[in-house]
Amino acid sequence: MKYDYVKYLGEYGGLFLIAIMFATPIPLVFYNRMKRKPWTKELLNVILLLILGLCLYYMAISTNNPFLYFNF
């Protein structure tokens, strides 16, 4: 119980860093630069689909906890 932050940082640390990165204007600048090139449109679509898939995965694994209300 004392070191729960280590457990959660291990599970969600990467997602937390990605969230911090997407809270900055860096992805918008990258998107606007890549949007100008005709061959990168498919690459951007794949990247956005991967991000969507990652978000859906985290939502799915967080809802299937049988002990969700055990602590209450």
List the chain domain ranges.
25-63
The count of other CB atoms within 10 Å of the CB of residue 27 is 14
Question: Does residue 67 have a pLDDT over 70?
Answer: no
Q: What H or E segment, with its residue span, contains residue 55?
A: helix 41-63
More confident residue, 45 or 1: 45
pLDDT given at position 25: 94
**How would residue 54 be classed by pLDDT, with cut points 50, 70 and 90?**
confident
pLDDT at 51: 86
* Model pTM above 0.85: no
Q: Which residues contact 16 (CB under 8 A, 6 or more apart)?
A: 9
Q: If you search the block for the tokens 């898939």, which residue do you land on?
A: 53
Q: What is the mean pLDDT of residues 46-51?
A: 89
Q: What CA–CA distance (Å, rounded) separates 9 from 66?
A: 22
